[in-house]
Protein backbone atom coordinates (compact mmCIF):
# COMPACT_ATOMS: atom_id res chain seq x y z
CA UNK A 1 0.00 0.00 0.00
CA UNK A 2 1.24 3.43 -0.86
CA UNK A 3 1.91 6.36 1.49
CA UNK A 4 -0.83 8.31 -0.35
CA UNK A 5 -3.29 5.64 0.75
CA UNK A 6 -2.32 6.40 4.35
CA UNK A 7 -3.67 9.95 4.17
CA UNK A 8 -6.93 8.80 5.80
CA UNK A 9 -7.01 9.69 9.48
CA UNK A 10 -6.65 6.73 11.80
CA UNK A 11 -9.08 7.80 14.48
CA UNK A 12 -12.67 6.85 15.33
CA UNK A 13 -14.13 9.28 12.81
CA UNK A 14 -11.75 8.19 10.05
CA UNK A 15 -12.58 4.53 10.60
CA UNK A 16 -16.32 5.25 10.47
CA UNK A 17 -15.99 7.34 7.30
CA UNK A 18 -14.09 4.53 5.56
CA UNK A 19 -16.55 1.92 6.83
CA UNK A 20 -19.53 3.89 5.43
CA UNK A 21 -17.79 4.22 2.07
CA UNK A 22 -17.11 0.47 2.05
CA UNK A 23 -20.73 -0.24 3.02
CA UNK A 24 -21.78 1.53 -0.19
CA UNK A 25 -19.20 -0.37 -2.23
CA UNK A 26 -19.53 -3.92 -0.93
CA UNK A 27 -22.71 -4.08 1.15
CA UNK A 28 -23.27 -5.16 4.73
CA UNK A 29 -22.56 -8.86 4.19
CA UNK A 30 -19.03 -8.12 2.95
CA UNK A 31 -18.22 -5.28 5.35
CA UNK A 32 -15.55 -6.88 7.51
CA UNK A 33 -13.07 -5.45 9.98
CA UNK A 34 -10.32 -6.97 7.83
CA UNK A 35 -11.57 -5.13 4.73
CA UNK A 36 -11.86 -1.82 6.61
CA UNK A 37 -8.34 -2.27 8.01
CA UNK A 38 -6.97 -3.03 4.54
CA UNK A 39 -8.50 0.18 3.21
CA UNK A 40 -6.87 2.10 6.06
CA UNK A 41 -3.57 0.26 5.54
CA UNK A 42 -3.50 -1.02 9.12
CA UNK A 43 -3.82 -4.38 10.84
CA UNK A 44 -7.39 -5.35 11.86
CA UNK A 45 -6.34 -5.25 15.53
CA UNK A 46 -5.67 -1.50 15.16
CA UNK A 47 -9.38 -0.87 14.67
CA UNK A 48 -10.08 -2.14 18.17
CA UNK A 49 -8.36 0.93 19.63
CA UNK A 50 -11.36 2.88 18.34
CA UNK A 51 -14.19 0.32 18.48
CA UNK A 52 -14.34 -2.53 20.96
CA UNK A 53 -16.21 -4.77 18.52
CA UNK A 54 -17.69 -4.85 15.04
CA UNK A 55 -21.12 -4.38 16.65
CA UNK A 56 -19.96 -1.11 18.20
CA UNK A 57 -18.70 0.05 14.81
CA UNK A 58 -22.00 -0.89 13.14
CA UNK A 59 -23.89 1.03 15.86
CA UNK A 60 -21.75 4.07 15.07
CA UNK A 61 -22.56 3.69 11.36
CA UNK A 62 -26.28 3.40 12.16
CA UNK A 63 -26.04 6.62 14.20
CA UNK A 64 -24.35 8.37 11.29
CA UNK A 65 -26.95 7.13 8.82
CA UNK A 66 -29.82 8.42 10.97
CA UNK A 67 -28.14 11.59 12.28
CA UNK A 68 -29.66 13.89 9.65
CA UNK A 69 -33.28 12.95 10.24
CA UNK A 70 -35.49 16.08 10.36
CA UNK A 71 -36.56 17.12 13.84
CA UNK A 72 -38.48 19.97 15.27
CA UNK A 73 -41.70 20.94 13.56
CA UNK A 74 -41.67 18.26 10.84
CA UNK A 75 -44.93 16.32 10.48
CA UNK A 76 -45.11 12.65 11.36
CA UNK A 77 -45.21 11.68 7.68
CA UNK A 78 -42.31 13.99 6.77
CA UNK A 79 -40.27 12.60 9.67
CA UNK A 80 -41.01 9.02 8.61
CA UNK A 81 -40.10 9.83 5.01
CA UNK A 82 -36.88 11.47 6.24
CA UNK A 83 -35.94 8.31 8.13
CA UNK A 84 -36.70 6.17 5.09
CA UNK A 85 -34.65 8.46 2.85
CA UNK A 86 -31.71 8.34 5.28
CA UNK A 87 -31.84 4.54 5.20
CA UNK A 88 -31.91 4.56 1.40
CA UNK A 89 -28.87 6.86 1.23
CA UNK A 90 -26.54 3.89 1.85
CA UNK A 91 -26.45 0.44 0.37
CA UNK A 92 -27.99 -1.91 2.95
CA UNK A 93 -28.61 1.11 5.21
CA UNK A 94 -32.00 -0.22 6.29
CA UNK A 95 -30.62 -3.66 7.13
CA UNK A 96 -27.74 -2.16 9.11
CA UNK A 97 -29.98 0.15 11.16
CA UNK A 98 -32.52 -2.67 11.64
CA UNK A 99 -29.86 -5.04 12.97
CA UNK A 100 -28.40 -2.51 15.41
CA UNK A 101 -31.88 -1.47 16.53
CA UNK A 102 -32.82 -5.10 17.16
CA UNK A 103 -29.81 -5.41 19.46
CA UNK A 104 -30.52 -2.01 21.06
CA UNK A 105 -27.13 -0.69 20.05
CA UNK A 106 -26.30 2.93 19.31
CA UNK A 107 -28.44 5.94 19.96
CA UNK A 108 -32.03 6.34 18.91
CA UNK A 109 -32.16 9.41 16.66
CA UNK A 110 -35.02 7.94 14.64
CA UNK A 111 -37.06 6.92 17.69
CA UNK A 112 -36.73 10.36 19.29
CA UNK A 113 -37.61 12.16 16.06
CA UNK A 114 -40.73 10.03 15.61
CA UNK A 115 -41.78 10.39 19.25
CA UNK A 116 -41.44 14.18 19.01
CA UNK A 117 -43.45 14.29 15.78
CA UNK A 118 -46.22 12.07 17.16
CA UNK A 119 -46.41 14.14 20.36
CA UNK A 120 -46.61 17.33 18.33
CA UNK A 121 -49.43 15.86 16.24
CA UNK A 122 -51.47 15.34 19.40
CA UNK A 123 -51.87 11.57 19.04
CA UNK A 124 -51.91 9.57 22.25
CA UNK A 125 -49.39 6.91 23.24
CA UNK A 126 -46.63 8.79 21.40
CA UNK A 127 -43.78 6.53 22.50
CA UNK A 128 -45.58 3.30 21.62
CA UNK A 129 -46.80 4.65 18.28
CA UNK A 130 -43.29 5.88 17.46
CA UNK A 131 -41.88 2.43 18.25
CA UNK A 132 -44.48 0.72 16.05
CA UNK A 133 -43.81 3.23 13.30
CA UNK A 134 -40.05 2.73 13.49
CA UNK A 135 -40.52 -1.04 13.22
CA UNK A 136 -42.73 -0.49 10.16
CA UNK A 137 -40.23 1.93 8.56
CA UNK A 138 -37.27 -0.38 9.12
CA UNK A 139 -39.14 -3.39 7.76
CA UNK A 140 -40.53 -1.51 4.78
CA UNK A 141 -37.17 0.03 3.87
CA UNK A 142 -35.41 -3.33 4.20
CA UNK A 143 -37.98 -4.93 1.88
CA UNK A 144 -37.53 -2.17 -0.71
CA UNK A 145 -33.73 -2.33 -0.55
CA UNK A 146 -33.78 -6.12 -0.91
CA UNK A 147 -36.05 -5.88 -3.96
CA UNK A 148 -33.79 -3.25 -5.50
CA UNK A 149 -30.72 -5.36 -4.76
CA UNK A 150 -32.31 -8.46 -6.32
CA UNK A 151 -33.35 -6.44 -9.37
CA UNK A 152 -29.84 -5.03 -9.80
CA UNK A 153 -28.55 -8.62 -9.98
CA UNK A 154 -31.13 -9.59 -12.60
CA UNK A 155 -33.32 -11.65 -10.30
CA UNK A 156 -36.89 -11.96 -11.49
CA UNK A 157 -39.33 -11.52 -8.64
CA UNK A 158 -42.33 -13.85 -8.60
CA UNK A 159 -45.18 -12.26 -10.51
CA UNK A 160 -42.87 -10.01 -12.49
CA UNK A 161 -41.61 -12.52 -15.05
CA UNK A 162 -44.22 -11.60 -17.66
CA UNK A 163 -43.52 -7.87 -17.43
CA UNK A 164 -39.86 -6.96 -17.93
CA UNK A 165 -40.68 -3.24 -17.67
CA UNK A 166 -42.31 -3.66 -14.27
CA UNK A 167 -41.06 -1.30 -11.56
CA UNK A 168 -40.34 -3.54 -8.59
CA UNK A 169 -40.99 -0.67 -6.16
CA UNK A 170 -44.17 0.60 -7.86
CA UNK A 171 -46.83 1.51 -5.34
CA UNK A 172 -44.59 1.07 -2.32
CA UNK A 173 -44.44 4.81 -1.57
CA UNK A 174 -48.24 4.82 -1.25
CA UNK A 175 -48.10 1.71 0.97
CA UNK A 176 -45.48 3.44 3.11
CA UNK A 177 -47.60 6.57 3.54
CA UNK A 178 -50.70 4.49 4.37
CA UNK A 179 -48.81 2.50 7.00
CA UNK A 180 -47.31 5.55 8.67
CA UNK A 181 -50.63 7.40 8.65
CA UNK A 182 -52.47 4.41 10.12
CA UNK A 183 -49.99 4.01 12.95
CA UNK A 184 -49.80 7.74 13.63
CA UNK A 185 -53.48 8.24 14.22
CA UNK A 186 -55.60 5.43 12.90
CA UNK A 187 -55.08 2.92 15.69
CA UNK A 188 -57.32 2.92 18.73
CA UNK A 189 -55.34 3.16 21.94
CA UNK A 190 -57.89 0.89 23.63
CA UNK A 191 -57.82 -1.88 21.00
CA UNK A 192 -56.47 -5.10 22.51
CA UNK A 193 -53.19 -6.39 21.05
CA UNK A 194 -53.55 -9.29 18.62
CA UNK A 195 -51.99 -12.63 19.45
CA UNK A 196 -48.99 -13.60 17.36
CA UNK A 197 -49.81 -16.31 14.88
pLDDT of residue 167: 61
* pTM of this structure: 0.79
pLDDT of residue 158: 59
pLDDT band at 69 (very low <50, low <70, confident <90, very high): confident
pLDDT of residue 159: 57
Among residues 74, 107, 69, 72, which one has the least CA distance to residue 85?
69
Helix or strand holding residue 121 (H, E): helix 109-121
Question: Residue 54 above 90 pLDDT?
Answer: yes
Q: How many CA atoms lie within 13 A of 189 on its CB side?
A: 9
pLDDT band at 55 (very low <50, low <70, confident <90, very high): very high
Question: Residue 80 above 80 pLDDT?
Answer: yes
CA distance 126 to 122: 8
How confident is the model over 47-75, as a mean pLDDT? 90
Q: 142 near 98, Cβ under 8 Å? A: yes
CA distance 160 to 19: 35
pLDDT of residue 186: 52
Could you tell me which residue, 77 or 158, shows the higher pLDDT?
A: 77
Question: Residue 81 above 60 pLDDT?
Answer: yes
**pLDDT tens digits along 119-144:** 888 888 889 999 999 999 999 999 99
Amino acid sequence: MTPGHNSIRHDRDGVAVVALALLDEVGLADLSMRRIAARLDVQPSALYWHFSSKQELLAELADRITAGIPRGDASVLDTARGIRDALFAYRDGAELVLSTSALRLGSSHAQRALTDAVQTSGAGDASERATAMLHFILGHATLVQQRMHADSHGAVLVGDAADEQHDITAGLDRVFDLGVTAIAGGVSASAPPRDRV
